């Protein structure tokens, strides 16, 4: 009897010991990610902190590392992000309103839902190729030998790419260039397509969080559907919508591949004057420095650039968290 008890309790002790080892293992695996995050941040700070200096903001890339900066990349990133937000806000929120408030249960609605989820999983580099063909080249319809040019006798440029330039409605500053080529506009539109699925998904959640009683109350007072949405639903869901867009933009600001494919440049020694100008963005400049052979670029300037990039990212996220915490209405 004693013997059996002993073997049970020793067996139980063994089983508990296995449990403890297991707990140690999963705590370890939780810590690995956090440890790596810490090492990454320390590594970058150690390599780059001393190189974060005025020249980084005031100068263009230079062949002398001590003079090199990323002025055009910082400005480029800001403009591209501003335009991307400007384009993706109306379309993304519009789509979210349609799906949440207007769409009926139909095959089309199901298709839209499945499609948005699938788009969110498409690799970003594919969006770069989409942007290159649709915005950058416009399927080549403005090249000298395309069917469009030949049918309508369009006055296109003589080079292999062709292309048109004209002032919309004859207004001087409304210059239009077709195709968009490797311009800021093409880059921002590419980024818009990239973040649109995320913007739609987060806006939908914000709109869905508004309780139905609000809508019913508005209807009861005689408001039309659009009045209900624009005056009641949208204002209260706006903090959630904005949070989603800011988080999507903070993703986009670190995206490199789509813009490289689309045709952003690595060396831009001037600031853009219009949306038709060439551009570069921070992550491309950082990538460019990483690939240079000298240690000053490869290790230090790249790390300094990363510090700026992460600082921007962090402030975007801080704004988003602030919006969510302070302005969001709890029902």
Site for another protein in 151-170 (CB under 8 A): 160-161
Query: From start to end of the chain, where are the E strands?
Result: 164-167, 175-178
User: Smallest distance from the beta carbon of 54 to another protein, in angstroms?
Assistant: 23
Burial tier of 231 (Cβ tally within 10 Å: 0-12, 13-18, 19+): exposed
Q: Which of 6, 10, 40, 53 binds another protein (CB under 8 A)?
A: 40
Q: Please report whether residue 18 would count as binding another protein according to CB under 8 A.
A: yes
CB nearer to another protein: pick between 90 and 170: 90
Q: Please report whether residue 11 would count as binding another protein according to CB under 8 A.
A: no
Q: Please report whether residue 176 would count as binding another protein according to CB under 8 A.
A: no
Q: Please report whether residue 149 would count as binding another protein according to CB under 8 A.
A: no
What gap in Å lies between CA 102 and CA 226, rounded to an integer? 10
DSSP per-residue codes, 267-329: ---S--SSTTS----HHHHHHHHHHSSSHIIIIIIHHHHHHHHHHHHHHHHHHHHHIIIIIPP
CB 285 within 8 A of CB 266: yes
CB 278 within 8 A of CB 187: no
Q: How many positions of this chain bind another protein (CB under 8 A)?
A: 91
Residue ranges in 101-140 that form contacts with another protein under rule CB under 8 A? 102-103, 108, 111-112, 115-119, 121-130, 132-134, 137, 139-140
Residue ranges in 226-285 that form contacts with another protein under rule CB under 8 A? 226, 250-251, 253-257, 260-261, 263, 266, 283
Q: Which positions from 69 to 108 touch another protein by CB under 8 A, shown as an x/- string? A: ---------------------xxxxxx-xxx--xx----x
Please, what sign has the CA dihedral across residues 119, 313, 63, 136? Answer: positive
């Amino acid at each position: 009897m004693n013997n059996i008890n002993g073997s049970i309790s020793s067996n139980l002790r063994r089983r508990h010991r296995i449990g403890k080892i297991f707990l140690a293992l999963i705590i370890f695996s939780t810590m690995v990610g956090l440890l790596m995050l810490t090492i990454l941040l320390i590594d970058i700070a150690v390599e780059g902190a001393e190189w974060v200096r005025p020249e980084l903001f005031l100068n263009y890339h230079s062949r002398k590392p001590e003079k090199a900066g990323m002025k055009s990349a910082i400005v480029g990133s800001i403009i591209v992000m501003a335009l991307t937000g400007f384009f993706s806000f109306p379309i993304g929120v519009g789509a979210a309103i349609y799906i949440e408030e207007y769409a009926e249960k139909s095959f089309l609605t199901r298709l839209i839902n499945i499609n948005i989820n699938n788009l969110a999983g498409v690799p970003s580099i594919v969006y770069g190729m989409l942007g290159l063909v649709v915005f950058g080249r416009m399927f080549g319809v403005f090249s000298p030998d395309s069917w469009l040019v030949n049918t309508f006798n369009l006055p296109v440029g003589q080079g292999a790419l062709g292309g048109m330039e004209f002032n919309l409605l004859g207004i001087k500053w409304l210059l239009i260039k077709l195709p968009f080529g490797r311009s800021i506009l093409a880059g921002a539109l590419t980024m818009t397509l990239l973040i649109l699925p995320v913007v739609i998904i987060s806006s939908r959640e914000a709109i869905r969080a508004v309780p139905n009683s609000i809508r019913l109350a508005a209807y009861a007072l005689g408001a039309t559907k659009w009045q209900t949405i624009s005056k009641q639903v949208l204002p209260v869901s706006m903090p959630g919508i904005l949070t989603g867009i800011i988080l999507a933009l903070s993703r986009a600001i670190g995206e490199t591949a789509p813009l490289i494919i689309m045709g952003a440049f690595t060396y831009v020694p001037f600031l853009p004057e219009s949306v038709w100008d060439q551009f570069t963005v921070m992550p491309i400049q950082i990538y460019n420095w990483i690939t240079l052979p000298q240690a000053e670029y490869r290790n230090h300037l790249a790390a300094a650039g990363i510090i700026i990039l992460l600082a921007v990212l962090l402030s975007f996220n801080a704004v988003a968290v602030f919006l969510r915490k302070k302005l969001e209405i709890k029902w």
